[in-house]
Amino acid sequence: MNNNNFNEIVNLLNNTTECIHLLERDGTISWVNAAWKKTLGLTDKECLGMSIQDYLSDESKLKFAEIFPRLNNGESIGNITCVFLSSNNESIYLEGTSTPVMEEGIVVGSCAFFQNVTAQRKVLGELRQMTNLQDILMRIATHYINVPINDLNQIVYNSLGDIASFASADRAYIFRYDFKNKLCKNTYEWCDEGIDSQINNLQSIALSDMPYWLSKHKLGECVEIDDVELLEGQGIKSRLKLEGIKSLITLPLMDGGNVLGFVGFDLIRNRRTFSNDEKNVLKLFAQMLVNVHNRLLNALQIEKTKEELEQMNESLERQVSEKTKRNISLSKNIIEQEKMATIGEISAGIAHDLNTPLSTIKVGADNIKSIIETLFTKQITLLSANELTRILERIQTSQIEMYVGGLQLRREKTEMFQYLSENYQVESAELEKIADLLVKSRVNKEDSFFIQYILELKNRIQNLEVLYQLQMAYSQLATIKNSSDKAVKVVQDVRAFIKGETQQEKHTFNLKSNIATVLGIFNYELKKEVDLQFNVDESIELYGFEVKLFQVWSNLVKNALESMEDQEQRYLGISAEKTDTTLTVVFENNGPQIPSDVLDNMFKKFYTTKGRKSGSGLGLSIVKNITDEHDAALNVASDNERTKFIITFKT
Partner 1 sequence: MNELKYAVVCVDDDPYILQMLGFQLGKIINQKLTLLEYFTDPDKALEGIDELMAEKIDVIFVMVDYQMPKMTGAQLIRSLKLKYPTLNCVMLSGQANQVSVEELRSDNLLASFISKPWDEEVLFAAISPIIQAHL
Nearest distance from residue 404's CB to partner 1, in Å? 8
With contacts defined by CB under 8 A, name the span among 59-67, 95-103, 323-331, 355-363 that binds partner 1.
355-363
- DSSP letter string over 602-633? TTSTT--SSTTSS--S-HHHHHHHHHHHTT-E
Task: Please pick, from the candidates 524, 545, 587, 649, the single residue that binds partner 1 as defined by CB under 8 A.
Answer: 524
Q: What distance in Å separates the CA atoms of residue 117 and residue 101, rounded to the nearest whole number?
A: 25
Nearest distance from residue 475's CB to partner 1, in Å? 7
3-state SS class at 539: coil
Task: Please pick, from the candidates 417, 450, 497, 649, the single residue that binds partner 1 as defined by CB under 8 A.
Answer: 417
Instruction: Identify which of residues 76 and 428 has a Cβ nearer to partner 1 in the complex.
Output: 428
Using CA atoms, how far residue 173 sits from 123, 277, 585, in Å, is 30, 20, 89
Nearest distance from residue 490's CB to partner 1, in Å? 13
Of 463-492, binders to partner 1 (CB under 8 A) are 472, 475-476, 479, 482-483
- DSSP letter string over 346-359? THHHHHHHHHHHHH
8 Å CB contact between 462 and 379: yes
Of 441-460, binders to partner 1 (CB under 8 A) are none
With contacts defined by CB under 8 A, name the span among 152-160, 320-328, 523-531, 543-551 that binds partner 1.
523-531
Is residue 406 close enough to count as binding partner 1 by CB under 8 A?
Answer: yes
Sheet holding 530-535, edge to edge: 530-535, 570-578, 582-589, 643-650, 633-638
Is residue 506 close enough to count as binding partner 1 by CB under 8 A?
Answer: no
Q: What distance in Å separates the CA atoms of residue 172 and residue 174, rounded to the nearest whole number?
A: 7
Name the nearest CA neighbour of 97 among 81, 118, 73, 116. Answer: 81
Q: Exposed/middle/buried for 127, CB within 10 Å: 0-12, 13-18, 19+?
A: exposed
Query: Binders of partner 1: how many residues, by CB under 8 A?
Result: 37
Helices of type H across 378-459 = 385-397, 406-423, 428-440, 448-456
Nearest distance from residue 485's CB to partner 1, in Å? 11
Instruction: Identify which of residues 89 and 377 has a Cβ nearer to partner 1 in the complex.
Output: 377
Quick note: the x/- pattern for partner 1 over 420-439, rule CB under 8 A, is ------------x-------
Instruction: Identify which of residues 24 and 432 has a Cβ nearer to partner 1 in the complex.
Output: 432
380: which DSSP letter? G
Nearest distance from residue 420's CB to partner 1, in Å? 13
With contacts defined by CB under 8 A, name the span among 178-186, 267-275, 319-327, 403-411 that binds partner 1.
403-411
Task: Please pick, from the candidates 326, 362, 495, 650, the single residue that binds partner 1 as defined by CB under 8 A.
Answer: 362
Using CA atoms, how far residue 581 sits from 131, 545, 584, 587, 623, in Å, is 92, 19, 10, 20, 22
Instruction: Identify which of residues 328 and 351 has a Cβ nearer to partner 1 in the complex.
Output: 351
Task: Please pick, from the candidates 348, 382, 491, 637, the single residue that binds partner 1 as defined by CB under 8 A.
Answer: 348
Contacts of 481 (CB under 8 A, 6+ apart): none
Is residue 495 close enough to count as binding partner 1 by CB under 8 A?
Answer: no
β-pairing verdict for 570-578 and 530-535: parallel
8 Å CB contact between 600 and 611: no
Sign of CA dihedral 277, 283, 287, 289: positive
Is residue 364 close enough to count as binding partner 1 by CB under 8 A?
Answer: yes
Q: What distance in Å separates the CA atoms of residue 536 and residue 553, rounded to the nearest whole number?
A: 13
With contacts defined by CB under 8 A, name the span among 134-142, 179-187, 251-259, 397-405 that binds partner 1.
397-405
Measured from the Cβ of residue 291, the count of other Cβ atoms closer than 10 Å reads 14
Is residue 379 close enough to count as binding partner 1 by CB under 8 A?
Answer: no
Task: Please pick, from the candidates 227, 303, 310, 366, the single residue that binds partner 1 as defined by CB under 8 A.
Answer: 366
With contacts defined by CB under 8 A, name the span among 37-45, 195-203, 398-406, 618-626 that binds partner 1.
398-406
Nearest distance from residue 636's CB to partner 1, in Å? 28
Report the number of secondary-structure helices (H) and strands (E) in the chain.
20, 18
Contacts of 80 (CB under 8 A, 6+ apart): 63, 67, 95, 96, 97, 98, 112, 114
Task: Please pick, from the candidates 414, 492, 503, 635, the single residue that binds partner 1 as defined by CB under 8 A.
Answer: 414
Q: How many residues does the chain have?
A: 651
With contacts defined by CB under 8 A, name the span among 115-123, 225-233, 404-412, 640-648 that binds partner 1.
404-412
Task: Please pick, from the candidates 72, 86, 356, 459, the single residue that binds partner 1 as defined by CB under 8 A.
Answer: 356
Quick note: the x/- pattern for partner 1 over 155-174, rule CB under 8 A, is --------------------
Nearest distance from residue 417's CB to partner 1, in Å? 7
Residues that bind partner 1 (CB under 8 A): 348-349, 351-352, 355-364, 366-367, 370, 402-403, 405-407, 410, 413-414, 417, 432, 472, 475-476, 479, 482-483, 524, 527-529
